[in-house]
Amino acid sequence: MLSKTLFLLTSFAGAATAAPPCRPRSSEVSSAVPTSTVAGSAPTPTLPSTGATDLAGPPAGLVLKKIAVGHGIQNYTCANSSASTTATGALAVLYDITTLYPGTAATGLSEFAWAGLPSTVLWSQDLPLNLNNSTAAAPGTPDSPNDLPETAYGATSDPFPSPADLVLGEIAPAAFLGHHFFDTAGTPNFDLASTSGLYFIGAKTGSVSAPPTADAGVLGTGAVAWLQLTDNGSGRSQGLSYVYRVLTAGGNPHTCADAGAGAGSVPYAAMYWFYGSSS
């Protein structure tokens, strides 16, 4: 895994010859990831495929607003050591990677680097959160991960530091886009308002397992599922009606037998695709 991660870190500036970890959906291959960009043309981004069961696509008439890479933690709790793990939310900082989509003139990544971007972020960046234990921020390396107990990765009550762009290798920094969090009702929120005027609050309406080849993450516990989220009708969403979480890396918890009773958090990264009305 280490050599793969190092390769991704050095492959942003040029095309990679290896096949991407996840491929475009078979019905959309012709327009998903062009191998070249003709002057005046632009690629049509399409959701990646797991290679098996896929999430339903967005309804007709919606347009892609943004693609982001999110980096943060998934939160869990165990009632006792024999209970099943319960997900309690997530915290992540979102960075705008829309212009890095393969085939985008001057800025597009290779297909391989694009598909591996969440894994690259997970292993090359400290967690961009205010943590109770600052020693948990660094990921370590795939061969020597910083795999602390899940209790070590918890965030403070003020989890988000001042906004900063994501710097990766030789490409232009990915601009800070917003925050992902769960409110007191346990509802997922995506706050992109300060940078794009967009906001989403919704509910999970689809879930499929991540591919078996997905990055298992810092704790080696596996990649969280790919999700479809739909606006919950509360009237709080602005310009967005669907969000997809795809190309996940890490984030799954230990069993309660291993983690023990109490709350814990697991580092993860993922891509988020945001859709809304064209108007």
181 compared with 8, residue with greater pLDDT: 181
Measured distance CA(51)–CA(259) in Å, rounded: 31
- Of the pLDDT bands very low, low, confident and very high (cuts 50, 70, 90), residue 62 is very high
Measured distance CA(142)–CA(136) in Å, rounded: 15
Q: Where are the domains of the chain?
A: 2-13+62-277
Residue 224 has pLDDT above 50, yes or no: yes
Quick: pLDDT tens for 117-160.
999 999 999 999 999 999 999 999 999 999 999 999 999 999 99
Q: Give the model's pLDDT for residue 170.
A: 86
**119 φ, ψ (degrees, to nearest 5):** -65, -40
Assess contact for 268 and 224: CB atoms under 8 A. yes
Quick: pLDDT tens for 241-266.
999 999 999 999 999 999 999 999 99
Assess contact for 135 and 152: CB atoms under 8 A. yes
Measured distance CA(28)–CA(2) in Å, rounded: 31
Non-local (6+) Cβ contacts of 56 within 8 A are 206, 228
Assess contact for 35 and 140: CB atoms under 8 A. no
Assess contact for 73 and 267: CB atoms under 8 A. yes
